Structure 1
Amino acid sequence: MLLRWRRWRRGRPFWGGLITVVAGVEIAVIPLAPMKVMLHQGVAGAGSVLLGAVMVVMGLSAWFAPQYRSLAGILTAMVAATALVLSNLGGFLIGTVAGVIGGAMLFGWQPDAPPSPHPSPQPSEETV
């Protein structure tokens, strides 16, 4: 079972998705304060929860559909930058920085190349 987990994890942008999900949860949870505080925030709290939910969905989509990792990475970085302005400085800057890093990791991840069926011959070094 551990071998299946490792194979699954290495076949997709796991760490970028994890950082993105954590950043989204961090941005979404901060405005979920007690009801008295939420009434003072008004509609701004709903936007923070929505931005955090979008980031969580992007992280999960990179895990379960790695072919969309580039789109998920770009959208994650854009939403994290938007959260800086719309959501308590992007989760007190921690969520925004983590979101941009996670988005960059999603965008930059490349799957391992499958092993070639015929190994190419190595050029021999000639000694002169």
Structure 2
Amino acid sequence: MSRGPREGVRPAFRQWRAGRPFWGGLLLTLGGVEVLLTLKASLDVILHVGMQGLAGYLLPVVMLLCGVLILFNPAQRLFYSVIGVLASLGTWLTSNLGGFFVGLLLGMVGSCLAFGWLPDQEPRVGRRQRRKEARAAQAVTQRLEHKTGQTA
């Protein structure tokens, strides 16, 4: 079996994911899907049917659409995340208390993640890497002090 084409799929996906607010868009999309699915629940499960009209289905669809648009058009993420958070808050009244709070929370967290994402930010250096660099710098300064102490 040749593994040539499959080796490039994962790094390509990681590169694509790094260039956009992936987790924010995904959580907002999942929140919209969850609210839509709770609208289809049986009447024994439903707490609040809401307006039973357009708004009950419109707001979760807007959440879903904003999440997908954040994923595929990250340049407009600020606008989509503001619309997404407003739609998420609106599901509190129109769609079973925001999909039993789960869809509401997913939409809010996803919108906040998308709003706060910075496209050109340097990747964070992990704690282990910082400690390793600090130890290396300390070892260099100790060597220099030791050498200057011997020559003096």
Partner of 1:69: 77
TM-score by length of 2: 0.66
Mapping of residues 46-65 of structure 1, within 5 Å: 46-65=54-73
User: Letter of the aligned partner of 2:15 in structure 1?
Assistant: R
1:53-96, CA deviations, whole angstroms, 9 ceiling, x for partnerless residues?
Answer: 11111011011110010011101110011110111101011111
User: Letter of the aligned partner of 1:74 in structure 2?
Assistant: V
Q: How high is the sequence identity, in percent, across the aligned residues?
A: 36
Contact 2:85 2:111 in 1 (8 A): yes
Q: Which aligned runs of 4 or more in structure 1 are off by greater than 4 angstroms?
A: none
How much does 1:102 deviate? 0.7
TM-score by length of 1: 0.77
Partner of 1:14: 22
How many residues align? The count is 111
How much does 1:47 deviate? 2.6
Gaps of 5+ in 1: 115-128
Which of 72, 84, 96 pairs up with 2:104?
96
Once residues 106 and 33 of structure 1 are traced to their aligned partners in structure 2, the CA distance between those partners, rounded to angstroms, is 29
How much does 1:2 deviate? 1.2
Partner of 2:39: 31
Go from structure 1 to structure 2 and tell me whether the alpha carbon gap of 1:42 and 1:12 turns closer, same or farther (over 3 Å shift): closer
Partner secondary structure for residue 110 of structure 1? coil
Partner of 1:109: 117
Q: CA RMSD in A?
A: 2.4
Once residues 28 and 115 of structure 2 are traced to their aligned partners in structure 1, the CA distance between those partners, rounded to angstroms, is 12
Partner of 1:125: none
**1:2 maps to 2:42:** no
User: Letter of the aligned partner of 1:27 in structure 2?
Assistant: V
Contact 1:31 1:45 in 2 (8 A): no
User: Letter of the aligned partner of 1:17 in structure 2?
Assistant: G
Once residues 62 and 52 of structure 1 are traced to their aligned partners in structure 2, the CA distance between those partners, rounded to angstroms, is 15
Partner of 1:119: none
User: Letter of the aligned partner of 2:113 in structure 1?
Assistant: M
Deviates more, 1:9-18 or 1:49-58: 49-58
